[in-house]
Chains A and B, each alone.
Chain A
């Protein structure tokens, strides 16, 4: 009998390693992974070729290989240097509504393309070099998520300034007042922020908040690694999935915010549960549930959902208890830090327990009790005003309207970006579906991954969350989606040759990178804040007496960063601070430049407000023209009419901010 010796690529060896684990008789411990043959009974039998020893032998590396490896080590540093130099060519003031891409020099984009291509080549070398990969990941994070920090004058995004205001309030008063803002019903993040800012000797969070995207994305690496290594032993898929995560994380929730940090904590909790608390492979399908012979599809689905994962990690009893305590402590932080993340966590853990993917059956119950207790006892004031929003049941049409339809509006460039975001999301989900399907065809039991990918969308059905739920659902489902995409090219039978696989991965990564640059940086013209804008707002706070009404011409100004309780703050799109007033619509007034209705509203609604100031800034104007769908000249026309109405007087002006003071009786001042 002839035995054919086959030389395998490193990746094929990894596959074979997985398969050899699968085919090991009974229970065996290889490395730290414990595999049980009963648990993987559904995985198809694959012909076992004989491994050539030379394939794994380090000494078989030729001189050419060594040269290539050295070049791949040095390549990212060269690319990073070129990237740093290319930053100098950016003139951010010339940015249009396509965002940062409109001012990126070709060299900058070229360096990111280069580093991505080098990563794909490095990943499929015979030996995985962890140190080199870590360099690539670190530089990618800085290049993708640090570019705003390095080229912009001030921390980006109006919400960061509001978060600075919440932090400043806690630093100054040592308390929280939930009647001021709903965020004070979940003060964990902001009180931690106040504590750090105070003992670090900073005046406000703006000193370090601008670095948040870099640090958050570095933090995400660890739990993603834990999560993906609980899905597969193939390190190439793990690293590729993490790379794809960074190329598809366009939703931008990683600014200085509770949700950015809580997403890291969510990933950590899920990773702990899937790393160490999977249902034992000995358990087998639940025999207590009878499957109807009339519904064979449901029987198959049930078996697929409840089939145990083969990859489990051995754990001592003491370690088990301490890790459970860790999960509870981390979840406690999440419960009092963010209103939404606990529900994503509960849904995911509940789905895992329900489908017997996690052995801690009591954990979702405990998590639910903790969340409910916090809401009932600690966020009563929020609940009193928003009970109808929270408990309104299924709102699929509202969610679709607020999250999709109403967002596809604005000027042509903003519309393009919005549509690109939809296309990018659909592309990611589509690729993940194909990847999942191919794995299912090959016999993988991916119920855990599918459950984690789908459960976040349940909240989208229930709650529109002010038009942001789809973004959050995308974010929370993203780890599972990118894992399935990473397996996509791995499982395509046509790509057996390593070089083809590398080329296909480079193409996929570049496609996602192109989408990322448009979708991630597409709103930057609105989110970007200038020194002059912040200086204008600071001047406003320095002159406005307590209890003044601060009226913004539109959303998007970098304000509310201090003295939260001392001022009444409103904007023309959201003028009413009193829910009983009903909706007040200034759309027509803004579009036609009619200031009379605005003046009458101020006189009627705020007669006791001693001082009323109106703020016009650059970021408001950009948001107005790109998102609201008004003609570009309408904002300037409105400001001009305000200035000449006789009821306002200009008291401060710089190139990016103007402040007008309201004169109740009209006339000049």
Chain B
């Protein structure tokens, strides 16, 4: 049995590749207004495919990549439309995001990965997150990449597991662009750092690896990306792995107590790395 077996994970993002040999998508929906609900592939770009691979890619290195919980079932909820013709930024509506969270609940997802956000709290997304929590599901959200700025919404919501980005000197080539992400404070192990781009603050729950992360992208390719977007699925994958090993919690009645139990499972597994709570929250989940 593979890590994460029996756990359903929603990736609310730009869609997940449906053709990559390392990634299997169990289902999903596009909630972008005016688009076909069945178009939950990577039409919004490669971001969601990269996140999905970190959680549950089932390839074999070195030819492929393997995610943290390859036995978990991935569900793609696409909330980002295709990039505008001629360039420009794709944006996700809070309606699409809240609807995706609702659909993930209806699908029976245990964890919802949200490597997105920005700005202040939005009541529609807040309500969907709260409804998810009351229905036994936990949202894991990215702190944001604004460079030591306050934690973005929805990660700033106290019902989300908020994730900062951890890096480790020596895991990327010296002189590569990742070198620019190195910044103090350093951890108890001086090779560890919280990435310069990572947002920080008292809302941070945990940290996860988010510098120079290799994962899957459409169509059958791989790419290196950095961001709290990458740290978040690492934590989601660790959460899936832990939940799979706790059948009483996995099969518990879907209510707020179950969700609290899942969050507690993640937080109590953490190892503090010496950065302090504003940078790492409870630390790095052990999974």
Q: Do A and B come from one complex?
A: no
